[in-house]
A and B are shown apart, each in its own frame.
Chain A
Amino acid sequence: MAQHIVKPNQNIFDVALELYGSVEGLFDLLISNESLTMNTDLKTGTRLEYHDYFVINDGIVKSIKENNYIPANGERHVYFKKPNYDLFAVCGIDNKIVSSSIIIGGQGNVQIDWGDNSDLETIALSNQPQEITHYFDSIVDTRRLKFYGDCTFTTFDASNLNGDMFLTRPLIVDEYISKSNGYSLKGLFLFEGTVILNLQGMVISELEPISDMSLQELNLLNVRFTDVSVLDNYLQYIATNYGNRRNCVVLLNTTPTEKGMQAIQTIINEPSWNDAGKWKFIINGDIYTKE
């Protein structure tokens, strides 16, 4: 008995065609896999057993193998996918990207329209972050992911989302992670209650979207700023528009210019801003904090 691993977007007829050279091979598939029925929704990565000596049309099987064809017709939906919740974000994904992944934790439900032929995916959030990965099952000109939900997030890791995320309404996100990409941070303007922000390795052209966040930890290690003034302006904004924010630990590899360093000195030396806890800037291993 041999095993076949279902490829993205394959239905049982596709598998039959690939293994037996004819859809009639379906019966061998059904016999060999007790749990399989005509209505089973095959998932990518599912293992199916089959008799490898049983080939109906050898020419087709050979041709499929030699040309590296993958029969993958998936399924198309007749009716409009109607979500149960309000939209909170839209994400633009490059049409050449084949998969997308997020790690999310929190409370409530999230429903994702992956912008292909798949069903809306509903995820019940829990405090334990879970990784949601999706392989797109269609070829499109422009792909838009839509996030619906009635939820708050304790963790939202968009490092492998592979696209710009634009929020349509305010969203509570305690911890946001987006590592090693160059996507826009504009959507972060609508984040609420964010305390930890990890933007390691990103290419950043603006920090205005996070300027008013009251953070506890800001990780900007290995960030490439399009201009160092982006960092300077952010630090100066904090010094001049302090408001009610809390003290924060800022991790940096990029050294600000004199203007930025002055802002750091102002922040760490203002007694009232360091009462409850001290501001700490760790730049290339050097710690700047109130003595």
Chain B
Amino acid sequence: MRKDIEIHINTGDIVINPHNTPKLRTFNWITNNGGLERYIYGEIQLPGNISEATIKENGVYISIPYTPKYKEFYVRIKRIFSDETSSFIQNPVDGSDWFLARSGLCGGDMKNIYASQLLLISENVFYIRLNKGYANIYSGNESDVNIVPAKRQNANLMLKCLPTNNYRYPLTGVGLIRWVNSNIHYTELSAVLQREFGDDGMNVKNAAFDLESKDLQLELEHYNND
């Protein structure tokens, strides 16, 4: 039995507070005199006894406070040894010490990120992983619940729901069971599918019903905000 998923006693929502407690490394914005004006530069400091291979393999957790600068940024990783000497991890692509920061905001592709946008990823803890000459930035918080779009689940709910079942919208629902246990009039079913999903912001692009297996294949497209 799972014990790590909890429901908040007051809010009734699933608790998605982070459960990990990573070791946060020192991060500072620094002045890079040889750098370009359009970027700002940050430095992560690590003890020298952490090997380069480990950093590349496992990434680094850092905390960056809100930075009100609408500029893309580079980071470098400095390893400080016990004799106070230091070395930087080298970018394998251009041979410099610097890695351009990128992130996939809102589930999108990896793109250069602006410092002021960091709070869209996380409010405090970040996880940085070096990849192909870039520093990819992710939220450093991990919880047991993975939040992903639940369109398939919603579609199933809509199909199963019979009108009168839904407390707030009593007339909503395809009520597929009504159709499965009767002779299906495809035109009528398709009209109901279009109407019900359309009202919920989904466009039914294609639907196919398998009479043998009683499976309904739906191809849906999200078209508005609701």
Contact = CB atoms under 8 A, between A and B. Distances in A.
Given A79-B226, A120-B225, A190-B68, A168 B120 contact: yes
Contact of A186 (B66, B114, B117): B66
Query: Which bracket fits the contact residues of B?
Result: 20 to 34
B225 A138 contact: no
Contact of B157 (A78, A170, A189): A78
Interface string B34-74: 00000000000000000000000000000000101110000
A168 B113 CA distance: 11
A205 to B, nearest CB: 15
A112 interface: no
Interface string A173-186: 00000000000001
Given A166-B119, A168-B120, A79 B68 contact: no
Nearest to B17: A141
B147 to A, nearest CB: 10
Interface in A226-275: none
A180 B17 CA distance: 32
Given A169-B116, A187-B68, A189-B68, A77 B226 contact: yes
| Interface class of chain A by DSSP | loop
| Interface class of chain B by DSSP | loop
Nearest to B201: A79
A168 B117 contact: yes
A140 B13 contact: yes
Interface string B194-221: 0000001110000000000000000000
B200 A190 contact: no
A287 interface: no
A169 B157 contact: no
A91 to B, nearest CB: 11
Interface stretch (B129-137, B138-146, B163-171): B163-171
Contact of B225 (A73, A82, A166, A167): A82
B181 interface: no
Contacts of A138: 11
A38 B170 contact: yes
A83 B168 CA distance: 24
Interface residues of A, number: 33
Contacts of B13: 140-141
Interface in A126-177: 138-141, 166-170
Contacts of A75: 168
B154 interface: yes
A170 B169 contact: no
A186 B225 contact: no
A141 B8 contact: yes
Contacts of A167: 68, 116
Contacts of B66: 166, 186
Most B Cβ at <10 Å: residue of A79, A170, A187:
A79
A9 interface: no
Nearest to B157: A78
B10 interface: yes
A82 B15 CA distance: 23
A87 B170 CA distance: 35
A87 B120 contact: yes
Contacts of A81: 225
A93 interface: no
A68 interface: no
B108 interface: no
B95 interface: no
A209 B67 CA distance: 11
Contacts of B202: 79
Contact of A166 (B68, B70, B200, B201): B68
Contact of B119 (A90, A120, A188, A209): A90
Given A39-B169, A90-B120, A169-B114, 19 more contacts: A11-B168, A38-B171, A73-B167, A78-B154, A78-B157, A79-B154, A79-B201, A90-B119, A119-B226, A138-B11, A140-B13, A141-B15, A166-B66, A166-B116, A167-B116, A168-B114, A169-B116, A170-B70, A190-B70
7 contacts: A38-B169, A38-B171, A78-B200, A79-B154, A119-B226, A166-B68, A168-B116
Interface of B: 8, 10-13, 15, 17, 66, 68-70, 114, 116-117, 119-120, 149, 151, 154, 157, 167-171, 200-202, 222, 224-226
Interface of A: 11, 13, 38-39, 73, 75, 77-84, 87, 90, 119-120, 138-141, 166-170, 186-190, 209
A-B interface, 5 closest residue pairs, ranked by CB to CB distance from nearest: A189-B68, A75-B168, A139-B11, A168-B117, A82-B225
